[in-house]
Chain A
Amino acid sequence: MSIFKYILKSLIHFKKQHLSVFAGTLISTAVLTGALIVGDSIKFSLKQIVDTRLGNTRFALQTGERFVRNALADEISDDLGIKASALLQTKGIAINSELGLRNNKTDIYGIDKSFWELSNINIQGLNNNEVYISKNLAQRLNLKVNDEILLRIEKSSVIPLNTPFNKEETPSSSFRVVVKNIIDDSQLGRFGLKNIQTAPFNIFINGKYLTDKLELEGLANIILISDESKNISLTELNSSFKKIFKIADANLVIRELESHFEILSDRIFIDEALSNSINSLDIPNNTILTYLVNTLSYNQKETPYSFVTAASNELLPQSLNKNEIIINDWLQKDLGITIGDSLELEYFVIGPLKTLEEKKSKFIIKDIIPVQGEFSNNTLMPLFPGLADAGSCSEWEAGIPIDLDRIRDKDEVYWDDYKGTPKAFISIEKGIELWSNKYGNYTSLRFNKESIDKNSLENEILEKISPTDIKLNFISVRDEGHRAASNGVDFGELFLSLSFFVIASGVLLTLLLYSLNIESRSTETGVLSGLGFKRNQIFKLRFFENAISIVIGGILGAVVGILYNQAIMFALNSVWHDIVRTNMLHVYILPKTLIIGAISGILIAFITIYFVTRKKLKYPIIGLIRKSSSINYDSNKNRTKLYRIISGFCFLLIIFIVSYSLYTSVDQNAGLFLSAGGIFIVASTLLFAATLNKTSSGKKAFALKQLAFINASRNKGRSIAIIALLALGTFTVIITGANRKTFYGTENNRNSGTGGYLYWAETTLPILYNLNTEYGKEKIGLDDDVLNHASFFQMHLLDGDDASCLNLNQIQKPQILGINEEELNNRGSFSFAKLLDQLDSENPWLELNKTYGNNIIPAYADQTVITWGLIKEVGDTLIYLNEKGEELKIVLIGGLNASIFQGNLLISDKHFNKHFPSVSGANIMLIDSKTENQSEIADLLNSLLRNFGINLTSTSERLSQFYSVTNTYLTVFMILGGLGIIIGTLGLGIVLTRNIIERRNEIALLSAIGYKRKRIFKLILMENIYLLVFGISIGIFSALIGILPSLLSSSFNIPGFFIIVIVLIVIANGLIWIYIPARNALKSNLVISLRNE
């Protein structure tokens, strides 16, 4: 005889009991491991998606609104001996005109063979009108090889579209192409540089053909680098880029004039960062800013549409003060003006969305110079497209309203003779004051030829400027992608939380069944003690005996966890698709995770049995031998008193927490309410335990219901476990159900997540004009009167990663929306979940207008985005680079309640225009109107903005899309919670069965003394229904405390029906587990039971 033999024989003899411990361990380990594998699988799948969308690309240069020479790719390739490819990317609308199908947000890439070579893909080249399309686009538009697509693409331009006096071009260009092939993921069909798991809709087109169509010959806006053959660092790559960087890549050109070299920008205005660098050269230069003024007037005489140049004093014939002006003799004659007279200038200041504001400024004439001279000539006019190449004034396309009636014959003659030669000159200081804009302060910089030659000037400039000045630098897109995939939403953690109730049920099951097992063997324990076994010896015996079932349960649990994981992954790829928005998730099993899962499950089970065994071994030996350990051990006044004291303290704590939370902020103390709900369960369960103690301490009553209650108090531990389980289950399910996002007619409230707006519209092509103005409406063609009832809240968009709950990756730089904060403040739109303490909570939107320091600006985002998408907190800072290449710190000063802005960062328009001036127009807008016009407006906008690729959704629909993610998570939680309750109630059923088996003699006795079967059944049913009613009631009340913030919110309606259904399911489930064992017990032969007694 040995300890091992004893353990082995006990294990075999009590195999059913061990099977239950094994099952409990298996369930909790399986769920735990499965959840951990979900985390690994999603990370792995996201990384796989990164590799799939990038091919062999490792680094990328994305120029944003700018363009660089496409020759850069070859130059870098030659310099570093690596593969590179230049792309021209634009957005567009793809239309299958035959079937009337269209896809608005289509990414169009102009590529050449180097793009495929980069990833070693053997694919045929594209002729001019041929395209490759991604599989998803083919499916969406129902396209086959050789089908025709009508492409409407964004007319990208070197000059930002909102640049003052830029020619008004149609914002898009249309042409037909033929599908050469439909390419799958292995052929870069999923190519994209954005960190998101959803597949983009891609079209690949011959690069040369595209650049020709867009008049962007030789230019690119993406350079891709693969380093598969040579492992280079990002620093090496950026050094090489800096080395081969040309001034053309900064859109600068050097023009040779008679006595000067002139620096001009293809973008008309020279970027401030570049002009600052060039001005800091040790070579003297002159700065020039030429502007088109609407009117020059004197004494009621007017000269229309004239260029006026602001220049540094060195360039001017005379130094000028800010209020002085020099005019040419043509203007002198035209206005009959002379030195000392006051000349008034009227000009447009062009604001965001081409909002025109006419301003005036007066100057004293200091000098009059000839029209043409060494300084005064048409080279001072910037090369505005639409002006510089116009044959006559009537051909002007100046991007502002030109009243052709005002143009006189002599103005035409002036144009013929002198083109854009300025008619007046002011100081550069005054010019900057009046006309500097977000695109730059100068239209040209001049260097005297005597100071430097052209080559030296170019070299000096290249020495001084850096690609990063204009935000041009390569980034490691693959590393970024992998980082975003690894640090995104931790699905392992998430599913661990979601599976909490299943794990808890598994643990509770182990605990409950193990307690029963050890109780049933209490005599054995007592006998062992009596025979001289020390407590720690008995403890070891029990521990090692159960260790076998636990270890096997843990190991098998880890294996079963794979199946659980597969079920979850299947659901995520299908019915729970709303959460992940991809069907590319694969199971990925790391041995490490299996080991961690198994060990964790085993440890949890060990801890459980450790405490149960320790507790049971504390019972007196005699009690154990007589097997009275389970009855009335706790029945003492001290424990009852202690329970009451703790329970009373908990109730006081609940009152304090709720009062404090109601007094301070209901919205911001949701967590505290939830805690109060949790404490209520503890308090009520303890109070119930105290009541059971009291009952078992001697109160006598013989009415059936009292007898039932007394019976319920016989096994206090079991009764309390049942109550706690039911309360916790009900609490969890109601909390989950009550938090399902619904509308119930609150979507039109301005403080709701829709802001009270009716529609959210996104256009593929930007809208350059303010649609609330007549001028804007006219320009865009919104000429229907009905639209006068609509108001438009247009937003600037800085492209970035989608940080909404639809993206699983961790996002560092979400897309930014520049908004008009005053309008939202005046409307009182949206509401905030969190605000920094020091903010004006009455006017939170106006806080966006503030600046916290040099390049430190405030922003809002949805609280869910802050927490889950960015994995940040309110008060944290995000670092961006602005267009000058400077670090821009964006402080998250508050979090919005769930809103239609999900996925975006909101900053003030003022800051947006300052830091991201090149962004032209608005791609996103909110539309409001009287609800009766709702559908008419939607139809009109869909029709009139069709060519802008409008995608109009009602704000409530957009919000419900985000809610669908939250609701799917809640559904998952509820399903897993429900599974937990089923497992938990399985334990409940076993406990009840056990109770009834233990009381078979008592039942037989009741029968013998004349109780009818029906009455006995009623008794059993009643005593267990007590537990059911108490448990569920505690759960309901605690849940009501937990959801108090929602109940008090005007925008919340409790989904009452839903909750009632859930509670009924819990009750029905409980009743089944009470009914079956009670019925079975009465079916057994009671006489035999009595005879045994």
Chain B
Amino acid sequence: MIIGLEKVSKSYEKPGSLKKREVLNEISLKVDSGESLSVIGPSGSGKSTLLNILGTLDMPTSGMVKLNDKNILNYSESQLAEIRNQHIGFIFQMHHLLPQLTLLENVLLPTIASNSNNDKAGLERAKELLESVNLHDKIKQYPSQLSGGECQRATVVRALINQPGLILADEPTGSLDEDSAEQLGELLSKINKEQNVAMIVVTHSMELAKKMNKMYKLNHGKLVGMNNN
């Protein structure tokens, strides 16, 4: 098991009220290496919260988050950052590439957090990955010079640069046009299969969701398995 949730709940305070709003209700989930799954659900159902908890960006109100069978909830901020850097790759709805860095530099950004792969080999890997997503001729360009689809593909490469075991994608196609969304879905699917990387995608797009091995629906705080056919 790469990552798993055990009876994870999450609730938020309601502004101006003593009551709490429960977003996730005792959710359990297990994701193994090379596995891919998608989570769909209506807006505000807690999809992104679930992904953020899986990605250690947020903490559950109760329950356990296990990475490689270890509960990571009592880890320090620093240890969690290391996990995010080494084991998890993030793809956000917006590309969030840094405007001051070129495409190549953006891709290499995670490597300087841990000084990993920040050498010639790392550089080669970044170039290879960029080539694999057809961005090899744009490595010196800045995000402002690229299209939305190109930027989002670059974020996929950025997520892969440290060879993580898990990719978490939050509405990766949400800001893309149909063609670009299709291309990105294919790319994610290909990566999952070819690189044996576990992948969890939160999306509104049924097309993208169906590209994953498993499909779940999050509704009223509960995760319900769905048939992705």
Contacts of A536 in B (CB 8 A): 78
Distance of B72 from chain A, by nearest CB (Å): 14
Contact B58 A622 (CB under 8 A): yes
Known: A6-B112, A9-B105. A535 touches B81 (CB 8 A): yes
Among candidates B16, B90, B98, B105, residue contacting A530 with C-beta atoms closer than 8 Å: B90
Q: Is A784 an interface residue (CB 8 A)?
A: no
Contacts of A524 in B (CB 8 A): 96, 98
Contact B78 A534 (CB under 8 A): yes
Name A525-564 residues within 8 Å CB distance of B: 527-537
Interface size on A, residues (CB 8 A): 30
Among candidates B96, B111, B162, residue contacting A523 with C-beta atoms closer than 8 Å: B96
A453–B86 Cα distance when bound, in Å, is 111
Contact A528 B57 (CB under 8 A): no
Q: Which of A10-18, A773-781, A818-826 contacts B (4 or more CB under 8 A)?
A: A10-18
Contact A6 B109 (CB under 8 A): yes
Q: Is A620 an interface residue (CB 8 A)?
A: yes
Among candidates B85, B99, B101, B158, residue contacting A533 with C-beta atoms closer than 8 Å: B85
Among candidates A9, A537, A625, residue contacting B113 with C-beta atoms closer than 8 Å: A537
Known: A529-B81, A532-B81, A697-B15. A13 touches B100 (CB 8 A): yes
Contact A697 B113 (CB under 8 A): no
Name B47-91 residues within 8 Å CB distance of A: 52, 55, 57-58, 77-78, 81-86, 88, 90
Q: B15-45, CB under 8 A of A: which get 1 and which 0? A: 1100000000000000000000000000000
Name B106-122 residues within 8 Å CB distance of A: 108-114, 118
Known: A5-B105, A620-B58. A528 touches B113 (CB 8 A): yes
Q: Is A2 an interface residue (CB 8 A)?
A: yes
Majority-rule SS of A interface residues: helix
Distance of A474 from chain B, by nearest CB (Å): 72
Contacts of A528 in B (CB 8 A): 109, 113
Among candidates B81, B90, B108, residue contacting A1 with C-beta atoms closer than 8 Å: B108
A523–B77 Cα distance when bound, in Å, is 18
Using CB atoms, name the residue of chain B closest to A531: B110
Known: A13-B100, A535-B77, A622-B52. A698 touches B15 (CB 8 A): yes
Distance of B122 from chain A, by nearest CB (Å): 8
Distance of B48 from chain A, by nearest CB (Å): 8
A5–B109 Cα distance when bound, in Å, is 11
Q: Is B216 an interface residue (CB 8 A)?
A: no
Q: Is A369 an interface residue (CB 8 A)?
A: no
A870–B16 Cα distance when bound, in Å, is 62
Contacts of B158 in A (CB 8 A): 531
Contacts of A968 in B (CB 8 A): none
Distance of B102 from chain A, by nearest CB (Å): 9
Distance of B169 from chain A, by nearest CB (Å): 12
Majority-rule SS of B interface residues: helix
Contact A2 B86 (CB under 8 A): no
Contacts of A1 in B (CB 8 A): 101, 104-105, 108-109, 111-112, 118
Using CB atoms, name the residue of chain B closest to A1: B108
Distance of A40 from chain B, by nearest CB (Å): 42
Q: Is A635 an interface residue (CB 8 A)?
A: yes
Contact A532 B110 (CB under 8 A): yes
Using CB atoms, name the residue of chain B closest to A521: B98
A13–B52 Cα distance when bound, in Å, is 30
Q: Is A621 an interface residue (CB 8 A)?
A: yes
Among candidates A5, A527, A533, residue contacting B81 with C-beta atoms closer than 8 Å: A533
Q: B144-158, CB under 8 A of A: which get 1 and which 0? A: 000000000000001
Known: A531-B109, A531-B110. A12 touches B100 (CB 8 A): yes
Contact A622 B15 (CB under 8 A): no
Contact B101 A534 (CB under 8 A): no
A400–B140 Cα distance when bound, in Å, is 109
Contact B112 A530 (CB under 8 A): no
Contact B101 A532 (CB under 8 A): no
Contact B16 A532 (CB under 8 A): no
Contact A625 B105 (CB under 8 A): no
Contacts of A523 in B (CB 8 A): 96
Contacts of B108 in A (CB 8 A): 1
Name A1-53 residues within 8 Å CB distance of B: 1-3, 5-6, 9-10, 12-14
A410–B78 Cα distance when bound, in Å, is 120
Using CB atoms, name the residue of chain B closest to A696: B15
A531–B81 Cα distance when bound, in Å, is 8
A697–B16 Cα distance when bound, in Å, is 6
Distance of A1071 from chain B, by nearest CB (Å): 34
Using CB atoms, name the residue of chain B closest to A632: B15
Contacts of B15 in A (CB 8 A): 635, 697-698
A635–B14 Cα distance when bound, in Å, is 12
Using CB atoms, name the residue of chain A closest to B58: A622
A533–B52 Cα distance when bound, in Å, is 16
Contacts of B96 in A (CB 8 A): 523-524, 527, 625
Contacts of B92 in A (CB 8 A): 527, 530, 625
Using CB atoms, name the residue of chain B closest to A10: B100
Q: A460-477, CB under 8 A of B: which get 1 and which 0? A: 000000000000000000
Distance of B9 from chain A, by nearest CB (Å): 17
Contact A2 B99 (CB under 8 A): no
Distance of B158 from chain A, by nearest CB (Å): 7
Contacts of A529 in B (CB 8 A): 57, 81, 84
A532–B85 Cα distance when bound, in Å, is 4
Name A614-648 residues within 8 Å CB distance of B: 620-622, 625, 635
Q: A687-701, CB under 8 A of B: which get 1 and which 0? A: 000000000011000
Distance of A125 from chain B, by nearest CB (Å): 80
Among candidates B84, B99, B100, B105, residue contacting A532 with C-beta atoms closer than 8 Å: B84
Using CB atoms, name the residue of chain A closest to B90: A530
Distance of B121 from chain A, by nearest CB (Å): 13
Contact B57 A621 (CB under 8 A): yes
Contact A13 B90 (CB under 8 A): no
Distance of A541 from chain B, by nearest CB (Å): 9
- In this complex, the member of A535, A620, A625 whose beta carbon has the largest number of chain B beta carbons within 10 angstroms is A625
Contact A3 B98 (CB under 8 A): no
Contacts of B109 in A (CB 8 A): 1, 6, 528, 531
A621–B16 Cα distance when bound, in Å, is 24
Known: A524-B98, A529-B57. A2 touches B78 (CB 8 A): no
A14–B77 Cα distance when bound, in Å, is 28
A9–B99 Cα distance when bound, in Å, is 10
B interface residue numbers (CB < 8 A to A): 15-16, 52, 55, 57-58, 77-78, 81-86, 88, 90, 92, 96, 98-101, 104-105, 108-114, 118, 158, 162
21 contacts between A and B (CB under 8 A): A1-B104, A1-B111, A1-B118, A2-B112, A9-B105, A10-B100, A13-B99, A13-B100, A14-B100, A524-B98, A528-B113, A530-B90, A531-B110, A532-B81, A532-B83, A532-B84, A532-B88, A532-B114, A535-B77, A535-B78, A620-B58
Please name 7 further chain A to chain B contacts, defined as beta carbons within 8 Å, in addition to the given A10-B98, A532-B88, A534-B82, sorted by A numbering. A527-B92, A530-B55, A531-B84, A531-B110, A532-B84, A533-B81, A698-B16
- Smallest CB-CB A-B distances: 3 pairs: A532-B85, A13-B100, A1-B108
